[in-house]
Structure 1
Amino acid sequence: MRPEHPLRACRSMSVALALCLTATAAAAAPPQRPWMDARLSPDARAGLLERELTMDEKLSLVHSPMALDFGPFSKPAGALSSAGYVTGIPRLGLPALQQSDASLGVTNPGGARPGDVATALPSGLALAASWNPALARAAGAAIGQEAHAKGFNVLLAGGANLTRDPRAGRNFEYLGEDPLLTGVMAGASIAGVQSAHVISTVKHFALNAYETSRNTHNAVIAEAPFRESDLLAFQIAIERGQPGSVMCAYNKVNADYACESVPLLGKVLKDDWGYPGWVMSDWGAVHSLDAVKVLDHQSGEQLDKEVYFGAPLKNALAAGSVAPARISDMVRRVLRSMFAHGLFEHPAGGGQIDYESHGKIARQAAAEGMVLLRNEGAMLPLRADIKRIAVIGGNASIGVLSGAGSSQVTPHGAPPMVQPMGGNTPFDALFRRISWFGPGPLDAIRARAPKAEIIFDDGRYPASAAAAARRADVVVVFGTQWNSENEDVPDLSLPQGQDAMIAAVTAANPRTVVVLETGNPVQMPWLAQSAAVLQAWYPGQQGAEAIADVLFGQVNPSGHLPMTFPQSVAQLPRPALPGAGLAPDSQYDILFNEGADVGYRWFARTGAQPLFPFGFGLSYTSFALSDLQVSGGDTLTVSFNLKNTGARAGAEVPQVYLRSAAGQPLARLIGWDKVQLAPGEQKRVSVTADPRLLASYDTAAHGWKIAAGEYQVSVGQHAGDSALLGGARLAARRIKP
């Protein structure tokens, strides 16, 4: 008798549900490719496919080149001109991995793909200043969708390094100094990218706090403060975003290169956290075959001294010094992430890009991330009846500034104005370039004030800038600071004499609004003479419109600082910039003596008063907090009322800080919310703390420890504000690492 088809049997017979599902799955899977059965777990599918690979095919998946025609390098056949390429295996239906840098949008390094543009989003610090995880996810989704349409299926995104020093050149890509804010925002962005069936990394693991001699310096920190700061940021980002890959850093960590660190990649990431994806190296960050103990993929192999995961690894396998099981683990981790994020079912390439909607996301992110730092006499928003406005400096007639390096995006819309900066290495010609995204704020201001006379001065000479300021009713002066990957800045000044120019302008006209386009906190020696200061960061391709939106009140500013602005470098844990004055790639230790007390926690520890505290940000309306309630037990739950007491609708970011734990004073952000309120409207806000934020890391017990006792919290508008105070008791508790 002919057997009945499994699907028909399930419909016509009363059989166990498990048998039906098994039969249906078996019928759905191509018998020659059982790993294509989407009903199976990513781990099971990876195991099935890995077993079909020859050893040579497995080895082809654990190393890859930079995919650019650059100098002596040539991109491999089939690769898009981009960061990297891992060859696929067509006989098994295994797609190639097309990789692109994408911290702030899909990059096109050096215009290697002529005419290819992408939505250029604001800097990471701008996004973090929004304190809006939903916006971070939307921005990530826009990047992921564009990448997928262009043919990319792996993005080198998800920067989660804490910004420990305001002089660090790559801070603009990151998300601030606090592990909770960084972890939540990075996790949301990663989840957004991967919603488009594109794998995202989280990077650079870990303690990549400086660019100076980043390939050789040694970051030194004890385990407990490391777990409570940078590692906690990565842990939260990984939990929330589930990135398919982790990219290890260039620098050493406690004497081991990060990409070869057994304590970091083996013990913490894979053992303690159970991370199931693959660890890829940063480009040129592998120094020996010893990395195979914990590293799963050598990326940008041409930049290393040797393709260690090529012939040397094959020879080590033959000699028995590397076990075949280790290669299987490396490959399965790559395949698992490919299955988990739909790379087989949703091949990249050929889709349409909605640049209009993505541009709106970029504009919202830019405006929502701007931080109003000063507004004397309600100088802002600018009134519609202004007769004469002077716009000065900052190349405001050209565009808005962008950070440089591997994250540089070629924006959709007007071509950027690019100024090569020169340098000392071949890569300086590719990455060391200042880009300005047009149109400029000058045009946006003119559009908002069509009846006003607009005077422009380029700001090169303080005397002429001051003369223009004297003739105006209101002055908008721009200050810029260009930051780039691979170099830190020497101090906190605005370069090229801009502080002197702004001082001359504010002295000439006290009705001066200063707009800062910077990649880091800066000093403001002219602050007391200014009427208003707007921190605009690097605002992306819609930055000019977003700046005008905030200046003229179409958007009520709601950004809050993700970094403390110090008054001077003397307030920092390391007043002298590590490595300054030494030859490139010098070897030296950087002692992170602040430990877990990064940023605002360092200021709380030392008692120093910053220029502007972490979490600070003004609004065109006002808010009031009341009726605090704190409950304890296993963790803290904090609830309170937030009311808009002003005349404008606006959003506020009430922040909850732990002030003492079982009698020990400290300062630690444990939660926040972003709340939109109409004038007179009130809402109840509730925040429940991640227990790890209430704990200390106990190295002897290998886990988190919450001591029994009273825990005090404050609720306010920044790290230095304690508008509401309260507390509750917690029971003793231990938490796995």
Structure 2
Amino acid sequence: MERSDVRDGPRVDRPRCAGANPGYRPDDEGATAFPSLIALGASFNPRLVREGGEAIGREARIRGFNVQLAGGCNLARDPRNGRNFEYFSEDPWLSAILVAEQVNGIQSQGVVSTLKHYTLNCNETNRHWLDAIIDPDAHRESDLLTFQIAIERSQPGSIMGGYNKINGEYAGGNHHLLNEVLKGAWGYKGYVMSDWGATPAWDFALKGLDQESGIQGDTLLWGKQPFRDELREAYGKGELPEERLSDMVRRILRSLLAVGADRWGPAPEVDMARHNEIALEGARQGIVLLENVGGALPLPTDEPLKVAVIGGYAQQGVISGTGSGAVAPVGGFVATIRIGGAGVMGRHRNLFLLPPPPLEELKKALPKAQLDFDPGYTPAEAALTAKRNDVVIVFGIRVEGEGFDMPDLSLPWGQDAVIDAAASANPNTIVVLETGNPVSMPWRDKVKAIVQAWYPGQAGARAIAEVLTGAVNPSGRLPITFPQSLDQHPRPELPGLGTPWGTAVTITYDEGAEIGYRWFAKKNLEPMYAFGHGLSYTTFDYEGLDVEGGDTITASFTVKNTGERKGADVPQLYLTEAAGDKRVRLLGFERVELEPGESRRVTLEADPRLLARFDGGIGKWSIDEGTHRVAVGKSATDFVLSGAAKLSARQFGA
């Protein structure tokens, strides 16, 4: 746990302010290790995310913390970003809806939640010296819109600035983005804190920063702690107005009081068994069945199968993302594979394993099967193991985390060769991926099924076994596009990758607001797996689309389970054309659980900003008059129903 104390200055009667980061610390006693946010993003389930937020808030509160550094709001712009597992998706609407529910859950427990990292903290390579270049209007339509909607729907007490610069100015000391947009146009009443070591100068206070956090980081990076002596000196000289200093204090206290942090009662009841059930349900709903050739899954539980389990440390546990987003469960990690070397950043590259092992959970789920484990160290050994069994389950893993980006989309340590060898020896091969990002899958056409499990948390092994054996019908949908290769990405080569720490890096996000599936649609590219894709052990159909116009678009349609078992579907509503402008935008979604033969009417209303363009010249959103076309689909490329409505021209909001 990390604490951020605000004890400097005059003594006043105020609540103690301590920050709890949902990450591993060597002295921590452990907490519930929930699935990563990218896994929860795949659930497309705001209610589930809210439940998880409430549990996180309770566990923070019982430790005496009242500020939680949780609420990852960045968009997954780059599939190499080491921290994508800490964020919900590549889409502004999906990300905003889910992160708002996490914030609401946390703050319902008397703990301030922190949206982070404001904004464009979308790559980790030399992040302290990274300058993110973007068109300001496109910024408003993408990353900033995500924050705006999330703030409107949850009123987080705190916003954390990013390490990076934006168009030449540091995010944590950006007058336009903090004073003019966040606190001005949006009317945000909470406080802005820096990231740890992201305050190089005291005048960030004039530019909108309210709290310097992690002063030890500023000492390391900048050789000073600007909000201590320098800020005090500036106040004494009149360079920092008293009104601004009072505003900084008032914002912090307001946020603490707004969630009831000053009202300390008995320690809250924390049912860790119930929290484990929430973690289990999150892992279940987040698992995405990418491929299932010939109905290879689910595996039969009543047959004496010989099953090979290969690789991924499946005999020990499931892996976690690393860095400040890694959570040690009660009792600690079952193992730490020290591959990262010495020092703080080295620790961020270690491989952390959470119990229980998938191998043990598979033994429980397949009581009549004979399981044969191979660690997957060499392709030759994996092939021998695969050949002597009926079915092969290969686990593919990758360490991803804070402070570094991936050089490519391959699985490390020769795992792609191991999977290829196993599949060549036995075509009945199933691959389970524990990653926070897309991977390249050169073996894809050789295997029967592919399961994306992400970093599934402390109950992940059980959830994986349940999905593989059919105890749980998979319902996850991809919250991020899986490209065929990096050649399809706006930046096939990542600027600055491999440069020494401290090197200035410039990344131009010239895709603007066309992130992920939007980029693929604009460029007519076919992804390996589309945003929103996910298979089930049952089937669904859509019919009866009605579309209404007016100030926005409202669409109604019927979803029916046409298969033979209960399942959950996630129908998605997309804008496909706006008054002649080809433009793809997710407008809405709903997770629907249906019994066989059951149907349900779904109605989705679009936030008008998703239909509009932002015009920085007038500071307003603009909708063009004309026909707006929409589609209901199973993914961003699989449309089943289509319709249209006319909208009038109008300008609105800020």
Could you say which TM-score interval applies, normalised by the shorter chain?
over 0.9
Whether 2:123 is the aligned partner of 1:210: answer yes
1:86 to partner: Cα distance: 2.6
Q: TM-score, normalised by structure 1?
A: 0.86
For residues 351 and 4 of structure 2, the distance between their equivalents in structure 1, rounded to whole angstroms, comes to 24
Residue 498 (structure 2) aligned to one of 571, 581, 600: 581
Which runs of no fewer than 5 residues in structure 2 stay unpaired? none
SS in 2 for 1:97: coil
Equivalent residue number for residue 434 of structure 1:
351
Provide closer, same or farther for how the CA distance between residues 623 and 413 of structure 1 changes in structure 2, counting only shifts above 3 A: farther
1:313 to partner: Cα distance: 1.2
Whether 2:613 is the aligned partner of 1:693: answer no
Equivalent residue number for residue 172 of structure 1:
85
The C-alpha deviation readout for 1:376-419, integer Å capped at 9, x for no partner, is 11111111214211111111000001000011111025642112
Residue 287 (structure 1) aligned to one of 188, 200, 218: 200
1:197–1:346 Cα contact (<8 Å) kept: no
Residue 113 (structure 2) aligned to one of 188, 196, 200: 200
2:349–2:400 Cα contact (<8 Å) kept: no
SS in 1 for 2:273: helix
Whether 2:213 is the aligned partner of 1:299: answer yes
1:656–1:713 Cα contact (<8 Å) kept: yes
SS in 2 for 1:687: strand
Equivalent residue number for residue 396 of structure 1:
314
* Paired letter, 2:204: A
SS in 1 for 2:128: coil
Residue 132 (structure 1) aligned to one of 26, 45, 52: 45
1:83 to partner: Cα distance: 3.8
2:30–2:332 Cα contact (<8 Å) kept: no
1:263 to partner: Cα distance: 1.0
196-205 vs 287-296, which deviates more?
287-296
1:217–1:252 Cα contact (<8 Å) kept: yes
Equivalent residue number for residue 329 of structure 1:
247
* Paired letter, 2:32: T
1:88–1:95 Cα contact (<8 Å) kept: no
SS in 2 for 1:482: coil
2:570–2:634 Cα contact (<8 Å) kept: yes
Residue 94 (structure 1) aligned to one of 14, 23, 36: 14
* Paired letter, 1:101: N
For residues 88 and 644 of structure 1, the distance between their equivalents in structure 2, rounded to whole angstroms, comes to 60
Equivalent residue number for residue 452 of structure 1:
369
For residues 339 and 268 of structure 2, the distance between their equivalents in structure 1, rounded to whole angstroms, comes to 36
SS in 2 for 1:238: helix
Please give the residue correspondences for 1:358-437 in structure 2 after superposition, counting only pairs within 5 Å.
Answer: 358-384=275-301, 385-413=303-331, 415-423=333-341, 426-428=343-345, 430-437=347-354
Equivalent residue number for residue 551 of structure 1:
468
Residue 62 (structure 2) aligned to one of 136, 149, 165: 149
1:317 to partner: Cα distance: 1.3
For residues 328 and 247 of structure 2, the distance between their equivalents in structure 1, rounded to whole angstroms, comes to 37
Equivalent residue number for residue 651 of structure 1:
568
1:549–1:555 Cα contact (<8 Å) kept: yes
Residue 35 (structure 2) aligned to one of 99, 104, 122: 122
1:303 to partner: Cα distance: 1.5
The C-alpha deviation readout for 1:242-267, integer Å capped at 9, x for no partner, is 11000000000010011110011111
Residue 467 (structure 1) aligned to one of 381, 384, 392: 384
For residues 184 and 270 of structure 2, the distance between their equivalents in structure 1, rounded to whole angstroms, comes to 40
The C-alpha deviation readout for 1:48-67, integer Å capped at 9, x for no partner, is xxxxxxxxxxxxxxxxxxxx
The sequence identity of aligned pairs, in percent, is 49
The C-alpha deviation readout for 1:408-455, integer Å capped at 9, x for no partner, is 11102564211223346x313553321100111000000111211111
For residues 358 and 228 of structure 1, the distance between their equivalents in structure 2, rounded to whole angstroms, comes to 36
1:179 to partner: Cα distance: 0.3
Whether 2:95 is the aligned partner of 1:182: answer yes
Equivalent residue number for residue 265 of structure 1:
178
The C-alpha deviation readout for 1:565-589, integer Å capped at 9, x for no partner, is 0011111000001211322221132
Whether 2:4 is the aligned partner of 1:84: answer yes
Please give the residue correspondences for 1:98-109 in structure 2 after superposition, counting only pairs within 5 Å.
Answer: 98-102=18-22, 107-109=23-25
When Rg is computed on C-alpha atoms for both structures, the one with the higher figure is 1
For residues 405 and 162 of structure 1, the distance between their equivalents in structure 2, rounded to whole angstroms, comes to 18
1:655–1:715 Cα contact (<8 Å) kept: yes
For residues 316 and 661 of structure 1, the distance between their equivalents in structure 2, rounded to whole angstroms, comes to 51
Q: TM-score, normalised by structure 2?
A: 0.97
For residues 92 and 284 of structure 1, the distance between their equivalents in structure 2, rounded to whole angstroms, comes to 27
Residue 248 (structure 1) aligned to one of 149, 161, 166: 161
For residues 147 and 378 of structure 2, the distance between their equivalents in structure 1, rounded to whole angstroms, comes to 45
1:88 to partner: Cα distance: 8.9
CA RMSD, Structure 1 to Structure 2 (Å): 1.4
Which runs of no fewer than 5 residues in structure 1 stay unpaired? 1-80
1:82 to partner: Cα distance: 2.5
* Paired letter, 1:86: V
For residues 539 and 202 of structure 1, the distance between their equivalents in structure 2, rounded to whole angstroms, comes to 22
SS in 2 for 1:120: coil
For residues 538 and 220 of structure 1, the distance between their equivalents in structure 2, rounded to whole angstroms, comes to 31
SS in 2 for 1:85: coil
SS in 2 for 1:601: helix
For residues 165 and 515 of structure 1, the distance between their equivalents in structure 2, rounded to whole angstroms, comes to 22
1:484 to partner: Cα distance: 1.3
Whether 2:27 is the aligned partner of 1:112: answer yes
Please give the residue correspondences for 1:500-515 in structure 2 after superposition, counting only pairs within 5 Å.
Answer: 500-515=417-432
Number of matched pairs = 648
